[in-house]
Amino acid sequence: MSEGNILEVTNVCKAFGGVQALLNVSFNVQEGEVFGIIGPNGSGKTTLINCITGFIKMNSGKVLYKGKDISYKAPNQIANLGLTRTFQIMRPYYSLPAYKNLIIPLFSPRARRKGGWRGGGKLGDRGTVSIDILEEIGFERDSFVPYKLASSLPTGYLKRLELARCLALRPDLILCDEVFSGLSMSEIASMVPLIEKLQMDGITLVMIEHRLRELFRVASRVMVLNFGEKLTEGIPEEVMADEKVKEAYLGSEKLLDYTFEA
């Protein structure tokens, strides 16, 4: 493992029957950076995250996290190592209030081991700690919102709840699967500083995004996937100037203008 890489993914392959979802995808994520993964629909981005976090067993390949092989571990073991993920289609516990949603990750071995203010312990019970985390992620503490059933929360809060579930585990690396999708422009605008704050807290982020403009504000490097294969990787401006990438993205020549108009 080379110095400074928190995640090293080597030659990951996954086929669903005859469909090759991922073919020899390799990339490295450095500690503390925001790494973007982009690509057209169906290019295998979510499958890649599922393979890394163990939700799908990959056919071949190797994933090193902090120099440790986590290739074929169970999702809960991987999460306990500090590699957490959000779901593109939000998966809250709909029958529980928002703050009780967080008690479940706070109950995990990692959160209990880490203790501190996020893991409960001396600084209050898990309910108190989960309210603290929710406040940090943008739930108003003194409002009813944290106490509302997750089923009655709007998309924006559910996306934040996904991130909060990761934070409750005190992660070192979060794989964000489209946290900006389905949000209004103003909601996205309020999410971006949150992402920046997480990065400043020393958390490494891998973000799958379709909202390129917002992604490029925070990401230092991006990787482009197309039909399960890695097209290119580099700093955003370089990547978007690549002819292959333009072709993959609808063949749109307007793409660059759109992306950097702001």
Partner 1 sequence: MSTIERRKERLDRGIKVRTEGIYAVSSWQEVTYLVLPRLILIVGLLLLPLLIPILGFSPYWKRVVSMAAIYGLLALGFDFLAHFVGLVSLGGAFFIGVGGYTAALLNKSLGLSPVFTIPMATVGGAIICTLLLLPALPLRGVYFAIVTLMYPLAIMRIIEALNIFGGTDGILGVAGFPNTWIEQYLIILIVIFALFGLRRLVNEDIGLVFRGVKDNDQSVRASGLSITLYKAIAVFIASGLGCLGGAYLAHIYMWAGISQFALDFSVIPIAATVIGGGGTLVGPLLGCFFLVPISEWLRTFGTLRIVFYSVILMAFIMFRSEGVMVYAQRKYHQFQRWVKV
- Does residue 87 interact with partner 1 by CB under 8 A? yes
What is the DSSP code (8-state) at residue 249? T
Which residue from 36, 61, 92, 236 is in contact with partner 1, where contact means CB under 8 A?
A: 92
Q: How far is the CB of 34 from partner 1 (least distance, A)?
A: 20
| 69 HSE (CA, 13 A, CB side) | 5
Nearer to partner 1, 38 or 78 (CB): 78
Phi, psi (rounded to 5 degrees) for 154: -75, 165
C-alpha to C-alpha distance for 5 and 209, rounded to whole angstroms:
22
Instruction: Name the token pair of 91.
Output: 């998966």
List the 60-65 sheet strands across, edge first: 19-30, 5-16, 60-65, 68-69
> Which of these segments, 4-12, 31-39, 102-110, 198-206, binds partner 1 (CB under 8 A)?
102-110
Nearer to partner 1, 161 or 195 (CB): 161
Which one, 87 or 180, has the nearer CB to partner 1? 87
CB of 70 to partner 1, least distance (A): 13
Count of beta carbons in the 10 Å neighbourhood of residue 94: 13
211 lies in the binding site for partner 1 (CB under 8 A) = no
Q: Which of 5, 53, 71, 232 binds partner 1 (CB under 8 A)?
A: 53
Whole-angstrom CA distances from 46 to 56, 65, 156, 183 are 10, 18, 20, 19
Picking from 250, 255, 174, the residue whose alpha carbon sits closest to that of residue 218 is 174
- Options 14, 73, 126, 230; binder of partner 1; rule CB under 8 A: 126
CB of 225 to partner 1, least distance (A): 22
Q: Is 96 in the site for partner 1 (CB under 8 A)?
A: yes
List the Cα angle 48/256/261 in 5-degree steps: 115
Judged by CB under 8 A, the residue of 16, 72, 107, 258 near partner 1 is 107
**Minimum CB–partner distance for residue 74 and partner 1 (Å):** 7
